[in-house]
């Protein structure tokens, strides 16, 4: 019997001993061995049932040792993920989400992140009652717990039935807050905007986003400065809104200064981003309302010309110059809009106004 077989047999035997301390030490040994080794994860799959049983012990020490061992067993091992859920781990894990022990809360969220990566167990996790608690972590968790909760919810959102449960827990105010306070180039922003794109397909999701102060602007800022994948989700979010109800959302999107970012995406975005940006630009340039004479020189007409040129010249080297011109045009248009507002607003209304991301003081 080689040394690895001896370790395996001894550890599994200790795990089923009546002595609680032996079980705890065995769980800790499994955690150590499976931390970086897929081979050990496969070999210790027989430990899953006894470890899940330890999750129900009235011993925080045993609970923690077992949960961390199960977490490592589930990493990058689909078969172990399925076995852990089938063994009944979800009920105690959801219980740990409500624990007074912050460490156990965070371990439980981390376990759900890993388990939710299993395509065949997303429905079971969604039905376990975990979603409302994960949404709470978006607001009140530590930075790591918040990140893990976003990833878990994003994983679960690919199952249609779970989207309704997520929406019912009202996550969008928290998602907007994360987008507003996180670096646009961060992974948590990428996961947030991905989840938001899924939720925005529902009327409840669109109402929540547009009702949240700075909600649409937060999406526009990700479109401008996020990672390539984040920008793709951001333009997808706005495109979905416009395709569903252009009359309702067109002006709301336009007023947040989205045009320069969209034009840049048509040149520098991922293939999907470019296609979505082109489509959204067309929807934004074509007003669903009759035009008045005063609108003849507005951004809509300018957009028509710019888009037709950029489609023919985006490979000719002129795109960057066109983008710079578009930014200037957008600023001029915004200033004209401010001047019109000044005729109907009090000075206090116009004390500070944002134009293309820059604060302009009107006194």
pLDDT the model gives residue 141? 80
pLDDT the model gives residue 66? 98
pLDDT band, very low/low/confident/very high, at 322 (cuts 50, 70, 90): low
* Mean pLDDT (whole number) for 184-193: 95
pLDDT band, very low/low/confident/very high, at 294 (cuts 50, 70, 90): very low
pLDDT the model gives residue 344? 44
3-class SS letters over the chain: CCHHHHHHHHHHHHHCCCCHHHHHHHHHHHHHHHCCCHHHHHHHHHHHHHHHHHCCCCCHHHHHHHHHHHHHHHCCCHHHHHHHHHCCCHHHHHHHHCCCCHHHHHHHHHHHHHHCCCCCCHHHHHCCCCHHHHHHHHHHCCHHHHHHHHHHHHHHCCCHHHHHHHHHCCCHHHHHHHHHHCCCCCHHHHHHHHHHHHHCCCHHHHHHHHHCCCHHHHHHHHHHHCCHHHHHHHHHHHHHHHHHCHHHHHHHHHCCCCHHHHHHHHHHCCHHHHHHHHHHHHHHHCCCCCCCHHHCCCHHHHHHHHHHHHHHHCCCCCHHHHHHHHHHHHHHHHHHHHHHHHCCCCHHHHCEEEECCEEEECC
pLDDT the model gives residue 356? 35
* Mean pLDDT (whole number) for 13-35: 95
Residues ≥6 apart with Cβ < 8 Å to 265: 223, 231, 235, 273, 274, 276, 277
* Dist CA 304 CA 24 (whole Å): 69
Residues ≥6 apart with Cβ < 8 Å to 215: 172, 176, 208, 209
* Mean pLDDT (whole number) for 54-81: 97
pLDDT the model gives residue 307? 55
* Domains identified in the chain and CATH numbers: 180-281 (1.25.10.10)
**Sign of dihedral through CA atoms 224, 227, 229, 234?**
negative
pLDDT the model gives residue 3? 81
Q: How many CA atoms lie within 13 A of 139 on its CB side?
A: 10
Give residue-wise pLDDT tens across range 193-214: 999 999 999 999 999 999 999 9
Give residue-wise pLDDT tens across range 222-272: 999 999 999 999 999 999 999 999 999 999 999 999 999 999 999 999 999
Q: Which residues pair with 352 in a beta bridge?
A: 361
pLDDT band, very low/low/confident/very high, at 285 (cuts 50, 70, 90): confident
Give residue-wise pLDDT tens across range 137-174: 998 888 999 999 999 999 999 999 999 999 999 999 99
Mean pLDDT, the chain, whole residue set: 85
256-262-264-270 Cα dihedral, nearest 10 degrees: 130
Q: With b meaning 16 or more CB within 10 Å and e meaning fewer, what string describes 297-328?
A: ebbbebbeebbeebeeebeeeebeebbeebbe
pLDDT the model gives residue 306? 56
Q: Is 50 exceeded by the pLDDT of residue 183?
A: yes
Q: Tell me which of 6-10, 250-254, 309-313, 345-349 is least confident.
A: 345-349
**Of residues 192 and 346, more confidently modeled:** 192
pLDDT the model gives residue 311? 52
* Dist CA 51 CA 37 (whole Å): 18
pLDDT the model gives residue 42? 95
pLDDT the model gives residue 4? 85
pLDDT the model gives residue 53? 97
* Mean pLDDT (whole number) for 96-104: 94
pLDDT band, very low/low/confident/very high, at 113 (cuts 50, 70, 90): very high
| pLDDT-above-90 percentage for the chain | 74
């Amino acid at each position: 019997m080689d040394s690895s077989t001896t370790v395996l047999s001894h550890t599994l035997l200790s795990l089923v001993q009546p002595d609680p301390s032996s079980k705890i030490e065995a769980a800790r040994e499994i955690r150590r061995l499976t931390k970086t080794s897929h081979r050990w994860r496969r070999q210790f799959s027989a430990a899953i049932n006894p470890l899940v049983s330890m999750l129900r012990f009235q011993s925080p020490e045993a609970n923690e040792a077992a949960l961390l061992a199960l977490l490592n067993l589930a990493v990058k091992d689909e078969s172990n993920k399925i076995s852990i859920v089938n063994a009944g781990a979800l009920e105690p894990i959801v219980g740990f989400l409500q624990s007074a022990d912050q460490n156990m809360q965070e371990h439980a969220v981390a376990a759900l992140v890993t388990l939710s990566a299993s395509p065949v167990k997303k429905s079971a996790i969604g039905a376990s009652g975990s979603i409302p608690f994960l949404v709470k972590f978006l607001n009140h968790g530590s930075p790591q717990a918040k990140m893990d909760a976003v990833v878990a919810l994003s994983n679960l959102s690919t199952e249609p039935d779970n989207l309704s449960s997520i929406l019912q827990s009202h996550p969008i105010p928290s998602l907007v807050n994360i987008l507003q306070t996180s670096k646009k180039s961060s992974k948590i922003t990428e996961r947030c905007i991905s989840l938001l794109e899924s939720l925005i397909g529902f009327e409840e999701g669109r109402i929540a986003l547009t009702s949240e102060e700075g909600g649409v602007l937060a999406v526009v800022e990700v479109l401008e400065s996020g990672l390539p994948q984040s920008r793709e989700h951001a333009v997808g979010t706005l495109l979905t809104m416009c395709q569903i109800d252009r009359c309702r959302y067109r002006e709301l999107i336009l007023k947040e200064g989205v045009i320069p970012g969209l034009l840049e995406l048509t040149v520098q975005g991922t293939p999907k981003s470019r296609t979505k940006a082109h489509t959204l630009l067309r929807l934004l340039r074509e007003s669903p309302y009759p035009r008045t004479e005063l609108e003849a020189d507005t951004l809509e007409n300018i957009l028509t010309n710019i888009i037709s040129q950029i489609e023919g010249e985006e490979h000719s080297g002129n795109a960057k110059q066109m983008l710079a011109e578009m930014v200037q045009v957008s600023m001029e248009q915004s200033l004209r809009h401010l001047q019109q507002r000044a005729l109907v607003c009090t000075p206090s209304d116009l004390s500070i106004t944002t134009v293309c991301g820059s604060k302009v003081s009107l006194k």
